Structure 1
Amino acid sequence: MTEFGWRRFNFFDRNIVFDKEDPKQKFSGLKDVAVDCWCSSGGSVYLGEAKGGVFQLTSQFGEYFWKAYQKSLASLHSADKYLFSIGEDDDTVNTLLKIWDPERVEKNTPHVLRTIRMSPLNHASASPACSIAVHSSLQSIVVGYTDGTVLYYQGDVLHDKSLASRWLKVRDSSIGEGAVTGLAIAALPGSKTVIFVITPKHVYSYVVEGGKTVNSPKKHDANGATADCWTFDESTGQLIVASREMLFFYDADQCIDVDNGEIGRCLQLGRGHEKLQLVANGQYLALLTKHHSLIQKEKDSEFMTMLSVYDIKGQYVGFSCSLPNLCRMFTVGKTFLVLSHDGLLSELVEKNIATKLDILVKKNMFDVAVLIAKNSKDGGDYLKSIHAKYGDYLYNKGDHENAIHQYKETIGMLEPSYVMKRYLNSAKIKELCIYLECLHDAKKDNEHQTKILMNAYAKQGEKKKLMEFVNKITDGSRSARMRDVFEILLKWNYLPEASLLATKFQMHEDALNVIIHHQHKYQMGVNYINRMPIESVIEMTGKYGRDLLLHAREELLTMLLEKIKENSDSKNNFMRLFDIFIGDMDASKVFLDHVLKKTKGAEQNHFILLILEYRMRHFKSKEWTADELKNDIYDLIEKGNEEAALQLAQLFDCSPVIEHILMRCNKSRELMMYHQKKGDLKAIIRLCQGSSQKSKRRLWLDALTFIGKHATADDESMIVDLLKEIEASEQIHPLVVLELLAKNEHLTISSVKDYIVAWLRKQQIIIEDDRNTIKENNKSMGELDTTIESLKFNPQIMQVTKCSACDTALQLPTVHFLCKHAYHVHCFESYNMDGSDKCPACQTSHGSSRNEEISYHKFQKELAEATNGMELIATYLQRGLFDEKKKTRQTDASRKDPFASSGRISTNTNPFDDDDVETISRTMSTVSSNMAPVSRQRSTTKKDDDSMNPFFSSEAGSKKNSYDESKNPFGAPTASTNPFD
């Protein structure tokens, strides 16, 4: 394969490395470093100079330098965490093998574990060692010399004492071939080790068995290589050697076979160009080649260096660029690094898999994209998407057959309907079958796709494939699709097969469908049902009973009566079969009588509902007498089925049944609505008269509303009687009555005259009583004003000699009140908890007992006038006003309070406390030696609210009127209560 046969892509980016501490400056840590040898270990790379210096560069571009040899450094190799080096410390031929531990630093230099003198080990000549290789297990090491000699040692490299003396000579000296430029060790099963030896002219392989015997030496067809133009992968045992024309690949396991003449393979990469360096990293090979420069800017620029990165598995060029002539390349981890002669460090950053695949897809190179995705660790996520685009590409080119093979790979990602839509026509039905078969094998198909596949088989006349597919499904565990199979067989008129399939998988309904509706074998259908369990008998008879009743009447009835007799104690619901007998009175009578005797409990109750429905359905077909209604319908209605019976009566418009149920359930409002709908005014009035006191007001309002809309002049006599009932009940305000009746244009004033006159007379009496009450209140107000004036302007003599709190003789300083109470100052301050200047005894007495009395009268008044007394009591209970615990706390407080005798208790303990009542307190306090008044405070309520006046007569306020004005929704009239004024 020539180099030009490989496709080229730009899968890497060459980026200049910048200093980590100063990102604006280029990295210059390796400037003026002449790299003569190097090796990579984990996240670091070791760069060796010929003068003996070693640079360590980490993956984060951290630097570390030490002087490994005083004179020269020939080779570096890393194994495990250790570094092995070959070099000399003096001018004599005295090569030293040093084993370093880079993790252990002493005096700015890695610790040297061992130092072995290698020159004395090569007795044949005094040539220095120039190359080294160590196996990663640290159990074998090989060293090459400039005269071509190769020594091998097997054992513990780090601890064996014999490492300094006992070595096995693998290869003798060969002055004509030159120095050893490369060594590699491959450990194989069976205690065999393959050692590759590279010289400038040839490549050799030697097999060492047991560490003692050298067998099977081979000279390979590669022309040799320099120290930088080969690479070895220990994990695979593969050696790659770069010559001028091509790259040679050798596998260690092939070198064991003595008879194998041709070993390895070769690729013509960089053909005709001098190889400068070969570096491997994973599946990529980076190759530096020397080319003639077409553009010469300087005299020394006759040649240029070309860097190419090859993907060996994918067989493509992933990167290509020109570099300065003098440069070195090495790896740190999985990154390629390029060091120019001027110290400029560059890195090759591989593009992510998504970017690479996008490049390939845009160029329609789907085969390469698939190969890259398969070889990539994360490429599996993109593989199905590539196949989908590849399939679209082939489909648009007209290659439908190959396109369907690509679509097969998208199962699980691409929506099957997308592919199926493209292959639905007759010309592509073969490819559609291929795709659906794969979809079914992957268990990604659904019922719809199974139907399409079976119909496609049938349409192509592939009966054999169709039946094979049916057998494949029936023999498997995916029985949920048997209905699809059954429908296809039925569609293509495979009736015996469809019936057999349905019977096999207990698809009784489908089997009976074929037998009764398609084959018309009704006797066979009855026999089929008779062999089923009782529950299935009821279910199947309910579905196919009408057809069987028409064509196999006697057989069906006989079978059903036998089943009912045999299963009379079971919980099977035979009444579900009632529907099949509708329209056949004779058969239904026999069935109903038989079932009614055998059913019990809930089943019987449900069956009664069916009978009620059946009789109400035929309610209007004849005239029913009262006895028939009672015996045939009313006696079947019980408390548990009232709602269901009412719904049936409303559905079939059975008026007597509806009225009977509503009266039975005390649903006066619903019955009122029903009568209104019927327009039966007599029934409405009769309902109002017979209703309870609790619901009467609402019913009167409904009746008046109906009269206001629908009554005529002929109904005035009934309206007069209705108004008498309303007047006697006192449930509705007359203005509301007039408002509702005024909407009717057919009624005259005579219908409401007597009602209005009677109401006006009552109102006149109430007005006279209110006027008398006002006079009495005015008289009381005058007496109260006189008392207030006397207290305000006349002197008051304080003759109290004992403290009203402690009942001891008064001593100065004291506090006197106009209410004839006096206190010591300290007693007043002790019992005046709220900080006011009012008399404690009077404040408690008036604020508690008076409020309690007022609240009590208020509660009694509300209870007497309330239309719903229980609702009022529930409201008080909700507020906790009858809580026994509160009363207990009040009693305990009164025992501890010395003012309990004078009525001094908490103002919030009254259970009937009225927030609307305001009390009046008049206090005067005097604190002096001669009892002179020092302060006076007066607080009164608004004069325009007599009901708030504590001196107002309670009798006048509690007088009960014959009618409650609070029930008037239109408000109290200001001038006259006559609605006709």
Structure 2
Amino acid sequence: MRQVEGTALLVTIAEDLPREPVLKVWALDKVVRKTGFPTCTSTLNIQNGRKPFPISAFAALGDLSQLAVGFANGAVTVVRGDLIHDRGTRQKTVFESEEPVTGVEFRDVARLTTLYVSTTARLLKLVISGQGQGQPARTIEDAGCGVGCMTVDERNGDVVVVREDAIYYYGIDGRGPCFAYDGPKSLVQCHEEYLAIITPPQTTSNAKSNTLRRFGGSQAEDLFNTSTFTVLDTELQIVAHSESMVSQIQTLLNLWGDLYALTLEGKILRYHEKTLEQRLEIFYQRNLFIYAINLAQKSGMDAAQQNVIFRKYGEHLYQKGDYDGAMQQYLKAIDSTEPSQVIRKYLDSQRIHNLIEYLEELHEHHRATADHTTLLLNCYAKLKDIEKLEKFIKSPGDLKFDLDTAISMCRQGGYYDQAAYLATKHGEHEIVVDILIEDSKKYSEALKYICRLDPESAYPNLMKYARVLLENCPKDTTKVFIDYYTGKYQPVLEIVPTEAPAPEAGYAHNAAQAVQNLANRIPVPFRNDAPAHQVDINPDVNDVINLDGNNLTTSTPSYTPPRPRTAFSSFVDHSNDFITFLEACLAKPDVSESDKVDLYTTLFEMYLHKANEDDGHDREEWEAKAKTLIEGKDIPIDTSNVLLLSHLADFKDGSILVREQAGLRFDIFRSYTSAKDTRGAIKALRKYGPDEPALYPAALAYFTSDSRILKEAGNELDAVLKKIDDDGLMAPLQVIQTLSSNSVATMGLIKPYLQKTIERERRDIDSNQRIISSYRAETDTKRREIDELASQSVVFQATRCARCGSPLDPPMVHFLCKHSFHQLCLNVPNEAEGEKWECPTCRPGNETIRAIVRAQGEMAGRHEVFRDALERSGDRFATVSEFFGRGVLGVPGAE
């Protein structure tokens, strides 16, 4: 009985001797309603000659296109056709032998179908489809197997045959691996990577067994008739499961990923594989770590999980005292093991050789820390392993240890040449210079070493140790500074002939001294306390460290000299050398303007500093140099700096020269704006603005020249606009033109100023409109009065004198202004009747008007006053309007 995988079809073969066996195909998903049984889709009688024999073996391809049936008479019949749809089949006896057939299995690979046939005496194969079809069966091995003792491994198509001595695998090329497993076998079945074997009950005839059967009855019989069910993992060569079965197993089935066993009692047992973690745990409990490792590798576990097994195995071996074996496991798990755990164990057990092995592997895997490097060097020192120490320090390829730690250990041991070798080998120029200066105190050699470096490497080393070098080698160091900052620096390349090292004085001897010094730092029971001797450095290192070579070459520099001001701080307490450096930098052609400002200002300051230090003639000489420096033409020294330095140094000549310069206040403000010093510009504006109104328009233009400057100015722009508006320093149109020269100032920024200006102009316009309207109304009133006086009679109704207040009586005088007086109160004689009389009450106002008219007439001829007013005016149109109102164009006289 076979089930077609992936379908609901079941193939069965039934035999009822002496009739021919009957093969049927059942559709399990199609049930007959009347009977409730599956539908039989195909029926076929299997032919085996004239005499019927029992079926001993059966096999089928997965698609039922071919079936093989083996019989006890040694014949094998192959059925081909479409059994699923019952479209006809063909049968053919492909093999006949004298031995009964015990098993048949198909191997279908690459369009080649091979049928394996086993008998009681042989194992054969024949091609039934593909290249080689029709050829007679070929004997693979002259040994057969029992019924049910042959199966096929679905994973690779190999045929598995179990015999009493071993388990054999057969591939397309013949016999493959075999595994010894003694004992009789009655049934075999492959389940994934496992092999399930049934061992039949063992028969016995001794007297003791017979006695037990006689007295035990059926229970004792069952005990002696038990079979063994064993599951093997042939790859790991382990027994995965084994148990004794009272009820013998009739068949084994692979279904739904599990293994099922059908017993003679009709019971079905399911066997499910444990998880990988459970299987590993079983190995751990039994200390079978090798099997656990093999299982993990076979299962495809990642390296981190395998390392856990290696670590457990190593701990097991360490507890057993197998330190070397444990170390091998720790080395395998080094990538995921905390190094401190292993190191602590081997330190406690004083297994220095193993510890060195582990520390070296840490460095190989680039997992070593500074502490690991230190410990490894200490271990080398304890064991006096000169060869390994030299190999470690001179290891080729990528750096496998912490360079700083190794150099530090050599320096602490007093072997600066070895430390310099490591630093030089790995291009640590700064450390080499540090060793020469801080440890060896070889300042001149350190400076020469710096001079051999390329400009990019020489600069940071020169700047770092500039003060120390100036203190010990002032002239040479100043010269190096001048060459570097004037663009004349050229690295000096030293060529030292290579000589073979002497056997006793080679690097191994130097390393021995280094080991001895390292050993002095740790307690070693077997350490030799003999004093160390001074040794020469390896010739390879001498290429860098030996500074007394004779062969020198130069190379063309390709660098941009830094700004001179970066070196100023290095010359503290070295004023003479500093002045030499500044003068040399100024002598260089094509000095940038910004550098000129720094150099001239600093040189001026140093001249004054030297003048204060010296007395007498030297003081006068330094002051003369300072005065000459600031008197020169086009000297870019800020006047405010000159004034400040002169004041601090009590240099009166400098203060006088600064004060003699015209427009000092405005120039100070401009110096702040040129340097983009917004705070300084604001400070100068607040200080000098009240006396220099022209600073405010300049400040307005500066604040709006750049967005960054505008942000730094903050509310100061509003103050400047208010000042300009209040004092009338600029017309609104001029302010707008200044602000519109770039896109820095926005409308939102000057909106308050514009609103205020527009509102003020509107108020002035409204006020002027009101004045004009009042003047027009008054003029119309006066004109009407004049017309009435000229064309109509006037009725005087006053009854009292406007001067004395008494009732009017003749003689009396009436004026057209409606004022009436006694003639006596006017104090006018009678002979003046012909003259024009004027009302005494209105006379003061009339005199004022006549004076204004006379003044306007005089102003019409004074053109120089008009021109002067125009030149001083900020709003000339308003000035012209004002003079036009004053009668510049001429007015008629009025009396």
Q: TM-score, normalised by structure 1?
A: 0.48
- What secondary structure is seen at the aligned counterpart in 2 of 1:528? helix
Residue 560 of structure 1 deviates from its aligned partner by 1.7
Partner of 2:462 in structure 1?
541
- What secondary structure is seen at the aligned counterpart in 2 of 1:213? coil
Partner of 1:95 in structure 2?
21
When residues 130 and 426 of structure 1 are mapped into structure 2, their CA distance, relative to the original with a 3 A threshold, is closer
Please tell me the residue identity of whatever aligns with 2:95: V
User: 1:612, 1:633 within 8 Å by CA — same for their partners in 2?
Assistant: no
When residues 426 and 278 of structure 1 are mapped into structure 2, their CA distance, relative to the original with a 3 A threshold, is closer
Partner of 1:587 in structure 2?
577
User: 1:535, 1:572 within 8 Å by CA — same for their partners in 2?
Assistant: no
Partner of 2:450 in structure 1?
529
User: 2:486, 2:561 within 8 Å by CA — same for their partners in 1?
Assistant: no
When residues 537 and 383 of structure 1 are mapped into structure 2, their CA distance, relative to the original with a 3 A threshold, is closer
Please tell me the residue identity of whatever aligns with 1:250: Y
Q: Distance in 2 between matches of 1:42 and 1:462?
A: 68
Residue 213 of structure 1 deviates from its aligned partner by 1.5
Q: Distance in 2 between matches of 1:621 and 1:553?
A: 20
Residue 317, structure 1, aligned to residue 262, structure 2: no
Partner of 2:125 in structure 1?
206
Partner of 2:107 in structure 1?
186
Partner of 1:330 in structure 2?
253
- What secondary structure is seen at the aligned counterpart in 2 of 1:576? helix
Please tell me the residue identity of whatever aligns with 2:297: K
Report which stretch shifted further, 610-619 or 405-414: 610-619
Partner of 1:430 in structure 2?
353
Q: Distance in 2 between matches of 1:153 and 1:342?
A: 33
Residue 169, structure 1, aligned to residue 88, structure 2: no
When residues 138 and 356 of structure 1 are mapped into structure 2, their CA distance, relative to the original with a 3 A threshold, is same
Residue 409 of structure 1 deviates from its aligned partner by 1.7
The residue correspondences of 1:36-47 to structure 2 (distance < 5 A) are: 37=1, 39=2, 42=5
Question: How high is the sequence identity, in percent, across the aligned residues?
Answer: 23
When residues 346 and 517 of structure 1 are mapped into structure 2, their CA distance, relative to the original with a 3 A threshold, is same
- What secondary structure is seen at the aligned counterpart in 1 of 2:146? coil
Q: Distance in 2 between matches of 1:505 and 1:546?
A: 27
User: 1:238, 1:249 within 8 Å by CA — same for their partners in 2?
Assistant: no
Partner of 2:318 in structure 1?
395
When residues 161 and 351 of structure 1 are mapped into structure 2, their CA distance, relative to the original with a 3 A threshold, is closer
CA displacement, residues 782-836 of structure 1 (integer Å, 9 cap, x when unaligned): xxxxxxxxxxxxxxxxxxxxxxxxxxxxxxxxxxxxxxxxxxxxxxxxxxxxxxx
Please tell me the residue identity of whatever aligns with 2:649: E
Q: Distance in 1 between matches of 2:343 and 2:23?
A: 71
Residue 92 of structure 1 deviates from its aligned partner by 6.2
CA displacement, residues 479-509 of structure 1 (integer Å, 9 cap, x when unaligned): 9965556556656666556545544544221
- What secondary structure is seen at the aligned counterpart in 2 of 1:423? helix
CA displacement, residues 557-582 of structure 1 (integer Å, 9 cap, x when unaligned): 22222222337995613433334332
CA displacement, residues 671-720 of structure 1 (integer Å, 9 cap, x when unaligned): xxxxxxxxxxxxxxxxxxxxxxx9xxxxxxxxxxxxxxxxxxxxxxxxxx
Residue 444 of structure 1 deviates from its aligned partner by 3.9
Residue 446 of structure 1 deviates from its aligned partner by 4.7
Q: Distance in 1 between matches of 2:478 and 2:452?
A: 15
User: 2:347, 2:355 within 8 Å by CA — same for their partners in 1?
Assistant: yes
CA displacement, residues 829-873 of structure 1 (integer Å, 9 cap, x when unaligned): xxxxxxxxxxxxxxxxxxxxxxxxxxxxxxxxxxxxxxxxxxxxx
Q: Distance in 1 between matches of 2:266 and 2:454?
A: 93
Q: Which runs of 5+ in 1 are unaligned?
A: 1-36, 45-55, 57-81, 257-262, 643-659, 668-693, 695-873, 885-981
- Point out the structure with max Rg over C-alpha: 2
When residues 438 and 524 of structure 1 are mapped into structure 2, their CA distance, relative to the original with a 3 A threshold, is same
Residue 142, structure 1, aligned to residue 74, structure 2: no
Please tell me the residue identity of whatever aligns with 2:94: K
- What secondary structure is seen at the aligned counterpart in 2 of 1:285? strand
Residue 268, structure 1, aligned to residue 181, structure 2: yes
Number of residue-to-residue matches in the alignment: 571
Residue 573, structure 1, aligned to residue 486, structure 2: no
User: 1:142, 1:153 within 8 Å by CA — same for their partners in 2?
Assistant: yes
Residue 384, structure 1, aligned to residue 307, structure 2: yes
Residue 287, structure 1, aligned to residue 197, structure 2: yes
Q: Distance in 1 between matches of 2:156 and 2:424?
A: 62
- What secondary structure is seen at the aligned counterpart in 2 of 1:525? helix
1:559 to 457, 480, 484: 480
Q: Distance in 2 between matches of 1:105 and 1:612?
A: 116
CA displacement, residues 859-904 of structure 1 (integer Å, 9 cap, x when unaligned): xxxxxxxxxxxxxxx9xx9xx99999xxxxxxxxxxxxxxxxxxxx
Partner of 1:927 in structure 2?
none
When residues 154 and 346 of structure 1 are mapped into structure 2, their CA distance, relative to the original with a 3 A threshold, is closer
Residue 386 of structure 1 deviates from its aligned partner by 1.6
Q: Distance in 2 between matches of 1:413 and 1:296?
A: 62
Residue 127, structure 1, aligned to residue 53, structure 2: yes
Partner of 2:156 in structure 1?
236
- What secondary structure is seen at the aligned counterpart in 1 of 2:335? coil
Report which stretch shifted further, 97-106 or 124-133: 97-106
Residue 456 of structure 1 deviates from its aligned partner by 4.2
User: 1:457, 1:466 within 8 Å by CA — same for their partners in 2?
Assistant: yes
When residues 380 and 214 of structure 1 are mapped into structure 2, their CA distance, relative to the original with a 3 A threshold, is farther
Partner of 1:248 in structure 2?
167
Q: Distance in 2 between matches of 1:112 and 1:633?
A: 126
User: 2:13, 2:24 within 8 Å by CA — same for their partners in 1?
Assistant: yes
- What secondary structure is seen at the aligned counterpart in 1 of 2:334? coil
- What secondary structure is seen at the aligned counterpart in 2 of 1:147? coil
When residues 574 and 358 of structure 1 are mapped into structure 2, their CA distance, relative to the original with a 3 A threshold, is farther
CA displacement, residues 434-478 of structure 1 (integer Å, 9 cap, x when unaligned): 2234334444445554554455446544444444445544x34x5
Partner of 1:936 in structure 2?
none
Residue 118, structure 1, aligned to residue 43, structure 2: no
Please tell me the residue identity of whatever aligns with 1:150: V
1:348 to 271, 279, 301: 271
User: 1:188, 1:194 within 8 Å by CA — same for their partners in 2?
Assistant: no
Please tell me the residue identity of whatever aligns with 1:94: E
When residues 381 and 549 of structure 1 are mapped into structure 2, their CA distance, relative to the original with a 3 A threshold, is closer
The residue correspondences of 1:833-872 to structure 2 (distance < 5 A) are: none
Residue 281 of structure 1 deviates from its aligned partner by 0.8
- What secondary structure is seen at the aligned counterpart in 1 of 2:649? helix
Q: Distance in 1 between matches of 2:389 and 2:453?
A: 31
1:410 to 333, 336, 340: 333
Residue 252 of structure 1 deviates from its aligned partner by 3.1
Q: Distance in 1 between matches of 2:11 and 2:62?
A: 12
Q: Distance in 1 between matches of 2:426 and 2:466?
A: 23
Q: Distance in 2 between matches of 1:333 and 1:434?
A: 50
CA displacement, residues 296-333 of structure 1 (integer Å, 9 cap, x when unaligned): 78577443444333332333333344444155442213
User: 1:247, 1:266 within 8 Å by CA — same for their partners in 2?
Assistant: yes
Partner of 1:776 in structure 2?
none
Q: Distance in 2 between matches of 1:325 and 1:640?
A: 113
When residues 353 and 639 of structure 1 are mapped into structure 2, their CA distance, relative to the original with a 3 A threshold, is farther
Residue 183 of structure 1 deviates from its aligned partner by 0.9
When residues 140 and 581 of structure 1 are mapped into structure 2, their CA distance, relative to the original with a 3 A threshold, is same
Residue 516 of structure 1 deviates from its aligned partner by 4.1
Q: Which runs of 5+ in 2 are unaligned?
A: 203-211, 490-558, 616-644, 659-663, 673-679, 688-714, 716-748, 760-895
Residue 531 of structure 1 deviates from its aligned partner by 4.0
- What secondary structure is seen at the aligned counterpart in 1 of 2:359? helix
The residue correspondences of 1:762-841 to structure 2 (distance < 5 A) are: none
The residue correspondences of 1:612-623 to structure 2 (distance < 5 A) are: none
1:508 to 418, 422, 429: 429
When residues 390 and 538 of structure 1 are mapped into structure 2, their CA distance, relative to the original with a 3 A threshold, is same
User: 1:241, 1:249 within 8 Å by CA — same for their partners in 2?
Assistant: yes
The residue correspondences of 1:407-806 to structure 2 (distance < 5 A) are: 407-424=330-347, 427-446=350-369, 448-450=371-373, 452-453=375-376, 456-457=379-380, 460-473=383-396, 475-476=397-398, 483=404, 486-487=407-408, 499=420, 502-503=423-424, 505-518=426-439, 520-566=441-487, 570=560, 572-595=562-585, 626=647, 628=649
Residue 249 of structure 1 deviates from its aligned partner by 1.8
When residues 632 and 606 of structure 1 are mapped into structure 2, their CA distance, relative to the original with a 3 A threshold, is farther
Residue 512 of structure 1 deviates from its aligned partner by 2.1
